[in-house]
A = this chain, B = another copy of it.
């Protein structure tokens, strides 16, 4: 991957710049990645000085501004021309980098990605994909929050993009596609899901029908499509409910008749956390742009950033943009 360079927003997320820079260094040392760290020159240099790595593999692109998560994305992208997000996206636009990773403001990354890098010709709406853990693996959810109001034609494109991604980046052969819907039968759901069902059924995708929300954790399909409002609801509710349930269960077990010591639960709950660890994937790919943009979780640590960089490299290597174009 010597000619593939990944631009990384050194200033994005709750743990920037420390964890971001560390993740970039880890990617260099583990995968031999080529990285451009985008952020204030001095700050990034100071972070890099902490590590040992092949200096030819990381360059710094100076960017003096930072976009915070509470700014209006459109205004921030327009005004903060020297922010790490805008500068990073411009590196991709100008072919100085092949992809961009940021753990910063989701809105700014998506808006900036669409305006600066631009959509693949024919794609109506780019969409954000998330790997949702299931009892037996993962399911790739698209759209998980970029498009709150959707048409059925968008959802058909989401299904196509997600199938390409899951097949070539995640290595799932001929991935199954499900439509999130309240009811298993074709005629169930709202206007959007009924129309989308028809389109998916008539496509060449490996469509397996509606997937009811109660079945989402049970791996009924490799790809799940829905509008971004439903997708974000599922994603965020899963986070909240898991954390609520885990705390309730811990309380009940340690307070129970047998008073199982809390220490006995550390390892099992660590394993559970690992099974649901979003850092294993590293980030949500924003699919449908001319180049890949990965939105890493705001709380990303080095491991998440490292894996997001790897994800970008596979994406470029397998020429996913071309494969998506072929699907349209």
Taken together, the copies of this chain in the complex come to 2
B267 adjacent to A244 (CB under 8 Å): no
A249/B234 contact (C-beta < 8 A), A190-B148, A229-B190 known: no
A182 adjacent to B252 (CB under 8 Å): no
A189 adjacent to B229 (CB under 8 Å): yes
A264 adjacent to B256 (CB under 8 Å): yes
Interface membership of chain A positions 238-249, coded 1 if the CB is closer than 8 angstroms to chain B and 0 otherwise: 111110111111
CA–CA, A184 and B265, complex, Å: 34
A137 within 8 A of B: no
Interface centre among A189, A235, A264 (most CB of B within 10 A): A264
Residues in A188-235 with C-beta less than 8 Å from chain B: 189-191, 193, 212-218, 228-230, 232-235
Could you say which residues of chain B place their CB within 8 Å of the CB of A214? 236-237, 239-240
A236 adjacent to B268 (CB under 8 Å): no
A135 within 8 A of B: yes
Could you say which residues of chain B place their CB within 8 Å of the CB of A193? 229
A260 within 8 A of B: yes
CA–CA, A212 and B248, complex, Å: 20
A213/B240 contact (C-beta < 8 A), A233-B234, A249-B249, A268-B253 known: yes
CA–CA, A268 and B248, complex, Å: 10
Residues in A89-117 with C-beta less than 8 Å from chain B: none
CA–CA, A271 and B245, complex, Å: 13
Could you say which residues of chain B place their CB within 8 Å of the CB of A247? 135
A272 within 8 A of B: yes
A24 within 8 A of B: no
B246 adjacent to A249 (CB under 8 Å): yes
